[in-house]
Amino acid sequence: MGAPRTPRERWIEEGLAVLADAGPDAVRVEVLAKRLGVTKGGFYGYFADRNALLVAMLDTWERESTDEVIDRVEEEGGDPKSKAHRAGALTFSDDRLLPIDLAVRAWARHDETVAERLRRVDNRRMELLRETIGTFCADAEEVEARSLLAFCAAIGAHFLAADHGDFTRSQVLDRAADLLLDRPRTPRTPRTPRVLREVDDGDVS
């Protein structure tokens, strides 16, 4: 009896992992087979070629980033503002989805087909923000502006290198969400001043 075939989903998952780590050019059949500890032959039982795998990877990313996130948010319930915040957290704070999302954004800069896919995903995300913000804001232009700022904050926070003084990045993002979603101020745990942290760590003589 022969060895069991590597499931199709494992090829896709490994491809997404390589994409997140090294970009689309690194997603090669030989590389994935080596990582999976199998021969290349099993790959062609599922995919016609490498391009078919890339399409399947994008399909998986799109489904997990939109349909599955929205389904989970709806299952957990809550008011519209809580749902919008949770959707953003699931996408842009998730240790698995976030690196893939950022890799797809970089890929889209050089591939129009991927750019179209990214546009479709981002449009669905923007629509969720519009629906949420539209529950408390009647001005269409303000709804669009708040949605844009919220989306930019969620993505841009992962590229910004600036410090925030005595505030953590998480605290600043929570406050930004409060303002954009017109929520009560999120309770904040005071951050230990830098000089006191250095004393505690033994960095100050």
Residue 153: its pLDDT value, please?
A: 93
Domain boundaries defined on the chain: 57-190
| pLDDT given for residue 79 in this prediction | 87
- pLDDT of 191 over the 70 cut: no
- Name the pTM for this structure: 0.83
Q: What is the model's pLDDT at position 27?
A: 98
Distance CA 69, CA 103 (A): 19
Residue with tokens 């629906």: 131
Q: Do the beta carbons of residue 194 and residue 174 sit within 8 Å?
A: no
At residue 194, does pLDDT exceed 80?
Answer: no
Burial of residue 69, with CB atoms counted within 10 A of its CB: 0-12 exposed, 13-18 middle, 19 or more buried: buried
Give me the CATH topology for the region 57-190.
Tetracycline Repressor; domain 2 (1.10.357)
State the pLDDT confidence band at 51, using cuts at 50, 70 and 90: very high
101: helix, coil or strand? Answer: helix
pLDDT one-digit tens code per residue, 103-145: 999 999 999 999 999 999 999 999 999 999 999 999 999 999 9
- Cα separation, 186 vs 85, in Å, equals 12
Mean pLDDT, rounded, for 25-37:
96
| Per-position b or e across 155-191, b if 16+ CB within 10 A of its CB | beeeeeeeeeeeeeeebbbbeebeebbebeeeeeeee
Percentage of the chain lying above the pLDDT 70 cut: 89
